[in-house]
Homo-oligomer: A and B are copies of this chain.
Amino acid sequence: MRAAVSKSFPKTKKDVVVEFRREMIFEAAAKAFGRAGYEATSVDAIAAEAGIGKGTVYLYFASKAEIYLSTTMHELNKIHAETVRRFAVLSSCKEKIELFIRIRLEYVESHRDFCRIYISEFGSAVTQPDPIQKQLRKMRLRQADLLTNAISDGIAAGEIRQLPARSAAFLITDVTRGLLERRVLGGSKSYPGEDLRAILDLLWNGLKGGTP
């Protein structure tokens, strides 16, 4: 039994292995869930994708629901962390909004598998088992908060007009999701750059506001 204190620092070899395995499974699960969604994905499929035995999965996760939730949180945390990190060096609200969207677009490009989760689960949170739903909602709020803060700052700085920051933040997250969705589903024939530029332009005009 490892004492509470030792927990943070001296990673035992076992800890490393466990972390490695979990990461492996995260990746496989992201792919598998991304392909078919929560219900339609079997634990078998995840194990196969990870190239390990089905039983092995249960050494690292207690249940299918936990795999799902952990995988989703793991990825969302990464995106969140990167957003926070890169926000730090920016001062203007405009730049932050653009970066917010751009990070997610990049993510979608480089994580074709997981992005489907990113997109669909925010949406279909409606139908998930309850504990999962709660967590997902929390993550979503946390994401919106990044923007809410940026916008509030922008308002304070006179960069944008007086408006309800939170509503604006949600508007941006919603639009971002739609953008990603069209990228992934290929519904939009426009070059992503074009679509993005148009969206940003619209957003920005909306935020800056029609000063008569």
Contact = CB atoms under 8 A, between A and B. Distances in A.
Interface string A185-204: 10110100011001101111
Interface string A54-66: 0000000000000
A80 interface: no
B205 A137 contact: no
Contacts of A209: 205, 210
A184 B126 CA distance: 9
Contact of A171 (B121, B187, B199, B212): B199
A111 interface: no
A210 B202 contact: no
For A164, A187, A205, the residue with the greatest tally of chain B CB atoms inside 10 Å of its CB is A205
Interface residues on A, range: 35 or more
A5 to B, nearest CB: 24
Interface string A129-167: 000010001001100000000000000000000011011
Q: Which 8 A-B pairs have the closest CB atoms?
A: A123-B123, A37-B127, A174-B178, A206-B206, A39-B39, A124-B124, A167-B198, A202-B206
